[in-house]
Structure 1
Amino acid sequence: MNNFRLETYTGTVLDSQKHTQSHVYSEGGGGYVGPNGGRVEAATVKSYNTTRHDIFYRLPDGREEHVYFPLDGIALRNGNVITLIAAFRGDSTSGHYVRLCNHDTGTVYNVLDDATWRAMTAPDSTDLASLKEIKTGYSFLIPLAIWLALCLITISGGLYLYKQLPGSRELITKICLYAIFSLPLFFIAALLMVHGKSKKRQAAKQDMNNRLADELNGKIAAAVATVG
């Protein structure tokens, strides 16, 4: 499999800065006041902090680069030699940093958030095209076609016997009516078949996702081992 390609960038840390920002917001509150009184609820004030880690480093050719991560757990100091590993999907020129390796401490940091990981390892349009072979529409039409064929055969045969066997007309009429009113059974069968095909499609999609995740994990592990 070759759905991903990895690139590495090694350099020396020039500066490492962390910035923490507090965010305050409110939830709830409101109410009403009328001639006969009312009810007012105070809003609940909540807050959370976000951290941004800016890293400036110099490449071997003298160029300086800047990256930042919304992480607080990366430990760096000026002069550390680091390698950033970036992953790209297919031929895309837009990738994401997945690992930061500090050569001086031997520490490897995961710098890829869960949402980006899921987006990178999700099946793309080419992968999903193969799922079109698992057709759910036919699963609904097949039981309906069987029911129509059964009704036509039963009614046609019933009309013939209705004329040939006058004494059995009541029985033949019941059989024809049973065939017609059996539609709900075939409808349930159709729904079960559609549900089964949908589960099969979902399982195939999940299998694609797992294979993509395993491939990316394997390439990241190999890249870390190489730069380490």
Structure 2
Amino acid sequence: MDSQKHTQSHIYSEGGGGYVGPRGGRIKAPTVKSYNTTRHDIFLRLADGREEHVHFPLDGIALRNGNAISLIAAFRGDSPNGHYVRLCNHDTGTIYNVLDDTAWQAMTAPNPTDLASLKEIKTGYSFLLPLAIWLVISLLTIAIGYYLYGQLPGSRELITKVCLYAILSLPLFFVAALLMVHGKSKQRRAARQGINSRLADELNEKIAAAIAALG
């Protein structure tokens, strides 16, 4: 029935300030920045005669009064709240993406089941395992060295050095622990990205199927 676009300019400042004292001072002017937002209001009449109003933060949708359009919405699970994802102009044959980045991320975010699979990639054990190995090696070395210290008087200096080296090897095991944590964290990020990609592909497939069903 009608299509209206509104653009608003927003101006704000960042930084600035300073100080002035008996020996002078320093004043820095703030930086003025601006950005524009667009709101596209669409008024349409449904097939049953009811009128409806929708709006999108886009300015690239081309419509005129009398165009026949279809709006496709997506919902997560049984949630009653969804998002419009596509607008199809049947008169021009044009399909517009009306889902913004924030809504897209919300629609393709991992669900509790997916997050449970990520919890299986544990980073805490990766940090504790090398330190536990170091502790066991150090205790065994000290225990054996203490025993040999009394049995082999001529090797006491060597035994002492071996025990000290075992204790001072902590930084090496600490670095190994950090590397293992980094590897597990990288694995978690890759797994999460894989989940997001899978959910995005599933959503795109369903959107494509809905568009195809419109004929």
Does residue 1:142 correspond to 2:129, yes or no? yes
Q: CA deviation at 1:211?
A: 0.5
Shift in CA distance, 169/30, structure 1 to aligned 2, threshold 3 Å:
closer
TM-score, L = length of structure 1: 0.85
Shift in CA distance, 72/150, structure 1 to aligned 2, threshold 3 Å:
same
Does residue 1:170 correspond to 2:157, yes or no? yes
The match for 2:175 among 164, 167, 188 is: 188
Matching residue of 1:153? 140
* SS of corresponding position for 2:192: helix
Task: State the distance in 1 between where 2:127 and 2:105 align.
Answer: 32
The match for 1:133 among 112, 120, 124 is: 120
* SS of corresponding position for 1:147: helix
Misfit runs of 4+, over 2 Å: 19-51
The match for 1:74 among 61, 80, 83 is: 61
Matching residue of 1:60? 47
Shift in CA distance, 30/57, structure 1 to aligned 2, threshold 3 Å:
same
Q: CA deviation at 1:116?
A: 1.8
Shift in CA distance, 37/129, structure 1 to aligned 2, threshold 3 Å:
same
Q: CA deviation at 1:40?
A: 5.7
* SS of corresponding position for 2:2: strand
Structure 1 residue ranges without an equivalent (≥5): 1-13
Letter in 2 for 1:136: T
Letter in 2 for 1:62: G
The aligned length equals: 215
TM-score, L = length of structure 2: 0.90
* SS of corresponding position for 1:18: strand
Matching residue of 1:120? 107
Q: CA deviation at 1:33?
A: 5.9
Shift in CA distance, 174/123, structure 1 to aligned 2, threshold 3 Å:
same
Structure 2 residue ranges without an equivalent (≥5): none
| Higher RCO (Cα < 8 Å, 6 or more apart) | 1
Q: CA deviation at 1:27?
A: 4.8
* SS of corresponding position for 2:65: coil
The match for 1:106 among 93, 98, 113 is: 93
Letter in 2 for 1:172: I
Q: CA deviation at 1:119?
A: 2.4
Measured on the aligned residues, the alpha-carbon RMSD in Å equals 2.1
Q: CA deviation at 1:195?
A: 0.8
